[in-house]
Amino acid sequence: MKKLKIVFSTGAGVSAESGVKTFRDADGLWENYPVMQVASAEGFAADPALVHEFYNARRRQLLEVEPNEAHRLIAELAEDPRFDVKVITQNVDDLHERAGSKDVLHLHGELMKIRSVKDEDYIEDLSVDDIETTPERRGRNGHPMRPHIVFFNEAVPNITVAMQLAAEADVFVVIGTSLAVYPAAGLIRCVRRDTKIYYIDPNPANVGMVENLTIIREKATVGMKKLMDILDAKSQ
Ligand code: OAD
């Protein structure tokens, strides 16, 4: 039997119930930090120490949180022989992986990695006992290193693969994103006309005209349980 291809596209909301702040909700990260200072290429050039410290704080927080039921249910679906599951995420946390998901494509980088400022393809993993970085940090190859984060005003190298995955999806599930940041927000328009789209979010953005869209106006954990029931019924 042909497997149903399910592609998830997740944003900060999928990690909210783990205790990770979203960006644009009330009291979100971008309300408390000057976004262009801590998360743009220009901000990094102007004050790299500030940017390193911002991501050090994000890593410290990441070590204190755990994947939630939504991350776990996504990983569980991938174990089901009826489904072929891929995850595209805008998140820089590693909660999908820690929940057991193996096929995760990070669009905006990864907190637990650093990369060379001279060569974007030279990437090193950080370990949990070595999460603090500074502008003085050097990689094993001697290069100065920076957070492995796609800053505002930088290209999103993984978007081409993500668009391909979206185009192959039979079911496309968007979870917890305000769809405010492109090109990630455009993935919902890369799917085939017959692809079923679900958008799980307690406060979904207005997506305009999109065919075959079902909005599940719930938090990620509750919405994922509802989605599992729908998928079960679909694949009987
Ligand atoms: P946002 O903060 O823009 O949006 C978070 C979304 O999650 C909103 O639509 C909320 O309604 C929803 N939400 C809140 N709690 C939820 C819950 N428990 N379950 C499900 N949804 C919930 O975050 P993103 O759309 O992910 O980029 O932001 C996109 C990008 O903007 C981020 O990757 C980041 C940021 O600038 C970089 O840092 C490069």
The yes-or-no verdict on residue 235 having pLDDT over 80 is: no
What the block records as the tokens of 126 is: 């950080």
Which residue, judged by its Cα, is nearest atom 14 of ligand 1? 13
DSSP β-bridge partners for residue 198 = 173, 214
Q: Is residue 108 annotated as part of the catalytic site, yes or no?
A: yes
User: Which pTM value belongs to this model?
Assistant: 0.96
Q: Please give the share of the chain, as a percent, with pLDDT higher than 70.
A: 100
Residue 183 beta carbon below 6 angstroms from any ligand 1 atom:
no
Residue 176 beta carbon below 6 angstroms from any ligand 1 atom:
yes
Structure confidence by residue, pLDDT tens digits, 61-104 = 999 999 999 999 999 999 999 999 999 999 999 999 999 999 99
The yes-or-no verdict on residue 142 having pLDDT over 80 is: yes
Active-site choice (52, 71, 106, 108): 108
The yes-or-no verdict on residue 59 having pLDDT over 80 is: yes
Distance in angstroms (rounded) separating the CA atoms of residues 134 and 152: 20
Mean pLDDT of the chain: 95
> 5-16: b or e for each residue (b if 16 or more CB lie within 10 Å)?
bbbbbbbbbbbb
* Residue 236: pLDDT band with limits 50, 70, 90: low
The yes-or-no verdict on residue 209 having pLDDT over 90 is: no
Residue 103 beta carbon below 6 angstroms from any ligand 1 atom:
no
Which residue, judged by its Cα, is nearest atom 33 of ligand 1? 90
Atom of ligand 1 nearest to the CA of 22: 2
Query: What value does the mean pLDDT take over residues 210-236?
Result: 93
Per-residue HEC secondary structure of 59-107 comes to HHHHHHCCCCHHHHHHHHHHHCCCEEEEEEECCCCCHHHHHCCCCEEEC
CB 9 within 8 A of CB 175: yes
